[in-house]
Amino acid sequence: MRFGCPLLVGVSQKAFLGQLVGRPVQERQWATAAAVAMAVDRGAGIIRVHDVKAMKDVVQVAAAIGRRTVESMKAHHA
């Protein structure tokens, strides 16, 4: 976030995901979930998706795992 603004990521069902997993648009929910989790892990502040309920769960879990990992690393190195 070099510019002081939240990063918006819109990866939901995109063609590049279809190319990666070889699936049509209606079967890209797991590829979308993986891309959303990575975006959150890399600092995205806004996520644009089609399936809001499911991706909200993905974001919550990814954020919780990220926090736990950071806490664990801090405790390990203290």
Instruction: Tell me the domain boundaries of the chain.
Output: 8-77
Half-sphere exposure of residue 71, counting CA atoms within 13 Å on the CB side?
A: 6
pLDDT digits (tens, 9 = 90+) for 21-75: 999 999 999 999 999 999 988 889 899 999 999 999 999 998 888 777 656 656 6
Q: Rounded to two decimals, what is the model's pTM?
A: 0.78
- Closest Cα partner for 18 from 8, 2, 3, 29? 29
* Neighbouring C-beta atoms of residue 41, cutoff 10 Å: 13
Cβ contact 51:11 at 8 Å: no
CA distance 24 to 28: 7
Q: What are phi and psi of 18, to 5 degrees?
A: -60, -40
